[in-house]
Amino acid sequence: MTKTVVIKGHVVGPRTVELAEPVPSETREVEVTARVPDEGNAHDRVTGRSRELAWRQSNRDDLQAFAGEWVVLEGEQIIAHGPDPAELVAAARRSGVLVPYVFFVDRQQSDVVKLGL
């Protein structure tokens, strides 16, 4: 049987927590203290989206298939895309993405040069 445990606090990304003792079956909510190891460099810990940013940079041409749309990206996977960002965020959360990374794909224009993202 799968037990759902609510962890109070801020956790970025999916984490597995091993409980020190079994949770009684009638328990509906448990407060857990967990240590999350540092991963990546300081910039990655602050932004938390280095994978998504790198994927966007290396897949600019592929993203033109979604020109004029909003896109939800998790890691290197497109979760959802369409015209309504609020709807996309809700769909991403339903699929298990806690903090969706959402961006708009501009149409490429040959006579325009953009600096930055």
pLDDT at 22: 64
- At 107, is the pLDDT very low, low, confident or very high (cuts 50, 70, 90)? confident
- Quote the pLDDT of residue 111: 67
Nearest to 7 by CA among 28, 33, 27: 33
Residue 36 has a pLDDT of 47
Q: By the 8 A CB rule, do 105 and 63 touch?
A: yes
**What is the token pair recorded at 11?**
């956790």
User: For residue 114, what pLDDT band results from cuts at 50, 70 and 90?
Assistant: low
**With a threshold of 0.75, does the pTM exceed it?**
no
Question: How confident is the model over 31-51, as a mean pLDDT?
Answer: 57
